[in-house]
Structure 1
Amino acid sequence: MTAFFKKGVIPLIILALGVAGAGWLNASRATPPKGKPHERVANVRVMALQAGSYPVVIDATGVVEAARTAVIAPELAGVISQLSDQLRPGGLIKRGELLLALDAAEQRITLQQKLAALQEAEYNLAIEAGKQERAERDWNLVKSRKADKKAAELARRVPNLGIAKQQVKSAQAAVDLARLNLKRMRLTAPFDALVLESDVALGQRLGAGSQAAKLMQANQVRVRIAAPLTQLRWLQIPPPDADSPHGSAVTVTVGDIQAEGWLEGIDGALNAASQQAELLAIIPQSETPRRLPLGAVVSVRLHGLTQNGVIAIPRAALHEGNRVWLVDADNKLDYRDVTPLWGDAKTLYVREGLASGAQVVVSPLAAPLRGVKARVQGDEAAPSAPEQQRHKRAGDAA
């Protein structure tokens, strides 16, 4: 009997007591006050948009190249007798300054010979002119109406005078050529130049047409700029036949060197690698304290035409690509997908999709949803119903 009581009755008593205790605890639990569900609120910072007039600014990259180059080579062979100290890589030479001179002794002798031949031809012309004058008088005395024109010209020595005149012209041409050859023995700079290449020395013999130096224009360089085709409409690009090819202003920067210039045109072919247009800009070097090195990759800022009715949006306002979140008149989140006209590192510019005065969100948003209530930072909102009840219970307990 005792064993049966321990194995059968006692467990039932314990189970009954447990059920009764659980029921008592459940009945004695305080029922929480019922209230409205917690409303989601997004804390945001906003900026009021304003339409205005903005000059287009396009950032790009470019490569510095020579605006103009020239290969210096003698037209005649000769030995170098004079050489400029600046005829070396990096040397600066003004337009018209002597680069080098070849020994011109032979050319001077030839010129003297041609001058003597010219003097002789002029003397012969004077003699023949006198003979022709006498022949003309004699012909007037004995001329016959039956004589043909050719016979008359021979009698009057007209052909002889013509030959003498042609001999003078030929001798004069020989003198001009001798003077030209003498001048060709001196090579001068065709423009203000920076020497790119030169490896010649005094006493060195140069053949006709052999390169003595390579020069580039010193007072300006060209920058070849890769720009998207869609951005060209904002720029002033001079046509190829423009009298003064000065287009949109250009600012180039490399390291701590900055220089200003202008667009001079556009290359006729697209860049094969990037499929972008290649703009050509001229950068005067006389306006910079230091020169832009050839081949340098430079940052370029193109200053385009001013556009009216444009809204500037900070890039911090962009979410999910080109989506902009706004706070509407009901203080709720809404969004617009915009298409920028152009932009820079900090700002995008749009003309459609946004209105002046719109409140654009410029603070980060975590999983934003359209229609969620927005609380603009700085505005204080009244506590919600659950918050009021918690504050009341805390006061009663105190």
Structure 2
Amino acid sequence: MQVFVSHASADRDAAARLRADLAQLGRQVALDRGEPVGVRWWEGVLHRLRQSEVFVLVLSPDSVRNPGCLAQIRYALALHRPVLLVPARPATPPPEVTDAPVFDPAGLGAERVAKLRVALLSLPTTPPLPDPPPPEPPVPYLEPFRDRLADPRLGEAELRSIFRELRSRLRDEQDRAGVWALLVLLRARPDVPAAQAAELEEVLAPGWQPDPEHRVDRRYWDGQAWTTLVRHEGREFNERRVPPPEATWSGDAPARPRPSTPPRPPGRGPAGHRPLGRRRWVWVGGTALLVAAVVVAGFLWFGDSTTDPRAVARQFVDSVNIGDTDGLVQVACEKVRPTVRTTFLGGGFHLTLESVDPGAEPPTFTVLATDASTDVSDRRTFPLVREAGEWRVCV
């Protein structure tokens, strides 16, 4: 028997626990784990629904108002799939499944699994798929915005309208991760009106944001991408990527995100000291400079953005992180340009852009340099100097 488990992202732990229990019963589980903004993701969801014999909804206040969960429920009913409700948190079921049986997941290990077996066996026999099949529900969430943003013929009025709509939806926790990705796409368009472009830079500026993966309390956005710098339960640390909770569930305790090394506040070692680790100091013109980089294969193309301090800071950080000498030469001041490789590259660190202060005299930006081997971090502020009408990074 294949079981489709529908759940909101806030209920990942409950869904993972249910998946583990179903696996103990020998049931195959289809668990939605995709990013809810793409056509391909939605086609995969509908395919797994058609292959399943039972539809299970992890019931919670989030799932009963989640557009994806609601669309999945309606499609499962159109496919004549038996429905089982599994409460994660108190909530009133959607009207379509008010009369569906409810399985109480309380209890420990074997007792809970035995109760789940009884609940599944009590469901009606799954009939064949209807012929002709019911129409597929449209993609929920934000796909219409993605389609609109792909249209090169959008006018300024429509671009302003899209920005206002997306910005208003940032307040919705269910939509926030997808909206954020769409705002990044909008920012990449060269035809965004100047006023909206400035507002986009403010919205997408580096800073702490709710974790889009709901793994921890906060995750740091560096202006271009999500980083592994996180805050959780009052601690700040650099999180090593771990499999999602549903892939690591074991026993009766929910999986929790864990760094691969004990978390430490940035810049401090186990005893409160600041260990050097693999830190390398290079002297340039009498100034000690922390060299931080992780060199990986690849390249990065940069447009003509050296008149914007924020863009210069982003290009500097990205160039250091991928070991792009040409990118560094574009934004380095004349004094350090001949030695950018020895000055900025090498040392086993990864840079995270924390903030840019374009109004300072001179403008500055601050980075967090994290040692890849110890997770120890240091902050450093770089000044920008004006050369030939463009901003350059100098030391």
Q: TM-score, normalised by structure 1?
A: 0.19
Return the TM-score normalized by structure 2: 0.19
Larger radius of gyration: 1
Structure scoring higher RCO (CA < 8 A, sep ≥ 6) equals 1
